[in-house]
Structure 1
Amino acid sequence: MKVKEMLSPGNNFEVLEAKDGVEGLNLILKEKLSLIMLDFILPKLSGWEVFQKIQSHPELRKIPLVIMSGRKEEVTEKIPEPFEYFDFLGKPFDKKQLMDAIRSATIKAKQPRPDAVSPTVPTAAKNGVATTPATNDLDAAAEIKLLNEKIAKMQAEIESLKKQLTQVVTFIKQKIK
């Protein structure tokens, strides 16, 4: 409803709605869409399952995709960052964030993709750890680069949290005096 309100007819969008993942997937398969806005948490068929179906069809993968969720960690559990071929929109969001996500998704959808690469889907679980096959050294190198980027991002977040904690402790000490 919120997306439909933000994308009013004045913005040249016609919005088709689906009440659950099954209905949404049927719309995606039947209609000629120019954009897919996919909530990650859906009844009947989850956003993750719909995403997997989209990724299994080369033609559907060309459609700009915005995945929405109030819990980004649920998305990143299944789809590692950086999100190269779609955009992520955290809830709640405003109209500017929505329009920025649509623009970004449109740009990302035009990026060339290796056709042989399937979406990142865990293929085996050993001792509770999901793994994906690395078919060659380039895949392993890309995975290492991705992990290093995640580590750098986490370290920056940790430093930010340390600064905030220091500020809170200082504030509390001042109030106690």
Structure 2
Amino acid sequence: MASQKILVIDDSRVIRRMVKDMLPANVEIVEAKDGVEGLDKIRNGHPNLIMLDFLLPKKSGWEVYQEVQKDPKLRFIPLMLMSGRKEEVTEKLPEPFQYFAFVEKPFEKKQLVGAIKDAMQKAQKKKKEQPQGSPAAAAAAPAQDTAGGGGGGASTAEVEALKKQVAQMQTEINGLKKQMGQLVKFIKQKLK
């Protein structure tokens, strides 16, 4: 019996086969060829890890990612995003990728194993940092965390901590935007 179950959601049969061939026989590989099938297998299959292609038919990897993050039962499953073009991912989810691993396709066995380990570590970190009413959990699913009525509202200290975190993230985003502008300017100069 398999000790681990990895769900590979990718419309490429080659990628799904490649993952199966690269991992040990005691790892059960479950496959899905589009986002709708993948989301169904996430909800019903209880995988230990999700490998998610970012561009998928029927429901994109971005949409699947958002659905997973909204569900308190699913958001802590280790997640590894895959794409042939990293820019596709960074358009929606800016780096550094804090709570999921990323691997660029095509990948080799060493990269795959490294990304799986990274995804597992980041999921553990996310679990420790984000108990129920945390900032990322609240941002990902505001209605879900308050609907249960289990805890009271956030304390003033928590709100202030969140405000500081948002301000710090905005500063980082502004710095990244500036760097991106400089990079685009540099590339345009080189292309002339």
TM-score by length of 2: 0.67
Rounded to whole Å, the distance in 1 between the matches of 2:93 and 2:18 is: 25
Q: 1:81, 1:146 within 8 Å by CA — same for their partners in 2?
A: no
Runs of 4+ that moved beyond 4 A:
149-159
Rounded to whole Å, the distance in 2 between the matches of 1:148 and 1:47 is: 27
Q: Structure 2: which 5+ residue stretches go unaligned?
A: 1-16, 142-161
Aligned residue-pair number: 145
Rounded to whole Å, the distance in 2 between the matches of 1:143 and 1:58 is: 26
After TM superposition, the structure 1 = structure 2 runs for residues 8-27 of structure 1, keeping only pairs within 5 Å, are: 8-9=24-25, 12-27=26-41
> Structure 1 residue 118 and structure 2 residue 118: aligned?
no
After TM superposition, the structure 1 = structure 2 runs for residues 41-52 of structure 1, keeping only pairs within 5 Å, are: 41-52=55-66
Within the candidate set 122, 125, 132, 1:108 is matched to 122
Post-superposition offset of 1:5: 1.3
Change (3 A) 1:55 1:23: same
Change (3 A) 1:64 1:158: farther
Rounded to whole Å, the distance in 2 between the matches of 1:36 and 1:71 is: 19
Rounded to whole Å, the distance in 2 between the matches of 1:7 and 1:153 is: 37
Q: Provide the secondary structure at the position in 1 that maps to 2:57.
A: coil
Q: Provide the secondary structure at the position in 2 that maps to 1:67.
A: strand
Q: Structure 1: which 5+ residue stretches go unaligned?
A: 120-134, 166-177
Structure 2 counterpart of 1:142:
169
After TM superposition, the structure 1 = structure 2 runs for residues 89-108 of structure 1, keeping only pairs within 5 Å, are: 89-108=103-122
Post-superposition offset of 1:138: 2.8
Q: CA-to-partner distance for each residue in 1:126-150, whole Å, 9 max, x for gaps?
A: xxxxxxxxx8343122221244357
Structure 1 counterpart of 2:43:
29
TM-score by length of 1: 0.72
What is the root-mean-square deviation of aligned Cα atoms in Å?
2.5
Q: Provide the secondary structure at the position in 2 that maps to 1:16.
A: strand
Q: Provide the secondary structure at the position in 1 that maps to 2:102.
A: strand
Q: Percent identity?
A: 50
Rounded to whole Å, the distance in 1 between the matches of 2:177 and 2:110 is: 27
Rounded to whole Å, the distance in 2 between the matches of 1:157 and 1:99 is: 33
